[in-house]
Amino acid sequence: MQVLNCSTKLLLLEKMLKSHFPESLKVYGAVMNINRGNPFQKEVVLDSWPDFKAIITRRQKEAETDNLDHYTNAYAVFYKDVNAYRQLLEEHGVINWDQVFQIQGLQSELYDVSKAVADSKQVDVKLASFKAACLPPISTADTSFLMNSSVQLTYLSIADVDLLNQTWSRGGNEQCRRYIANLISCFPSVCVRDDKGNPMSWSMTDQFATMCHGYTMPEHRRKGYNRLVILMLARKLQSQGFPCQGNILDDNTTSINLAKSIHSDFLPCRFHRLILTPPAFSGQVHP
């Protein structure tokens, strides 16, 4: 195991990961954020350098942690050799198996290999799998329908955290509330507000440079706000050099149709999110 903390090598790694798109996208997003101030206190672990076969991004050991916070205790994975990934998982000190955490990646063997190692440690694994999509370059977004209204196009603030925690399908708990607050503080977001400043529609960016929690309040749906938010956030990310990636559940036909309408590319690989729970925290974990 090597921890890659040389800024020059991290910039080189960022370039190297581009040649392994789309499977490397989650690690690539994490590395981009590390190279741009590292607001989420991440680090890169790999089997060797520069001829690596497996990479894991993780929270820095010195960062403050909550053992129930699988939102923040998140690892992104990319491997060229699945056996090298297995060996990293098994190596002492790479993963903190004593807390609830998640593993993200875009490769088909991720679940089976992770579960095999987790089973040997009596750690429970729950899998969620999504369609993965990338947006094409966005040059313009039609905002003309906002011209004669009191609606404001802006961004999310810490004052919006409780609403976002309540409306996110993965939310409703203190760990998620704190995670959302950190995302808002660290990464780009877009929000449409009414004349009183209340959020109507929004989306934000996570620690892996993925667009997430796209949501429109029920009373404001079918007005084009979600489409506008996605396009504006994509433009913002692209202007900073980030890829525009998102994950969509298979049964979310509304989001799938929206993605198609803005010419998103559905990737040949799927996004996998594993939530791992050691026996000490069984029954205490939110999805």
CB-based contacts of 199, cutoff 8 Å, min separation 6: 156, 160, 163, 191, 192, 193, 217
88 & 142 share domain: no
What is d(CA 58, CA 72) in angstroms, rounded to the nearest whole number?
9
Write down the pLDDT at residue 63.
86
On whether residue 33 sits in a domain, the answer given is yes
| Order of strands across the sheet that contains 101-105 | 2-4, 42-46, 54-59, 74-79, 101-105, 265-277, 124-134, 245-248, 210-216, 199-205, 189-193, 152-154
Write down the pLDDT at residue 143.
60
pLDDT at 285 over 70: no
pLDDT at 76 over 70: yes
141 & 225 share domain: yes
Q: Which domain holds residue 74?
A: 2-131+271-281
What is d(CA 43, CA 183) in angstroms, rounded to the nearest whole number?
17
116 & 180 share domain: no
Predicted structure pTM score: 0.93
170 & 254 share domain: yes
On whether residue 240 sits in a domain, the answer given is yes
114 & 22 share domain: yes
Quick one: what percent of the chain has pLDDT higher than 70? 95
Tell me what the mean pLDDT of segment 86-113 comes to.
96
Which CATH number goes with the domain that contains 207? Answer: 3.40.630.30
On whether residue 94 sits in a domain, the answer given is yes
The domain tally of the chain equals 2
Residue the block writes with tokens 């149709």: 257
Tell me what the mean pLDDT of segment 247-271 comes to.
94
On whether residue 205 sits in a domain, the answer given is yes
Write down the pLDDT at residue 140.
67
Write down the pLDDT at residue 44.
98
On whether residue 286 sits in a domain, the answer given is no
CB 209 within 8 A of CB 242: yes
185 & 265 share domain: yes
What is the residue-averaged pLDDT of the chain?
93
| pLDDT tens-digit map of 90-100 | 999 999 999 99
Taking each continuous run of H as one helix and of E as one strand, the counts in the chain are: 8, 12
On whether residue 30 sits in a domain, the answer given is yes
On whether residue 287 sits in a domain, the answer given is no
pLDDT at 117 over 90: yes
pLDDT at 142 over 70: no
107 & 211 share domain: no
178 & 218 share domain: yes
Taking 3-state DSSP, the helix, strand and coil percentages for the chain, each rounded to the nearest 5, stand at 35, 25, 40
127 & 142 share domain: no
189 & 152 share domain: yes
160 & 234 share domain: yes
| pLDDT tens-digit map of 182-205 | 999 999 999 999 999 999 999 999
| pLDDT tens-digit map of 28-73 | 999 999 999 999 999 999 999 999 999 999 999 888 889 999 999 9
On whether residue 151 sits in a domain, the answer given is yes
Which CATH number goes with the domain that contains 19? Answer: 3.40.630
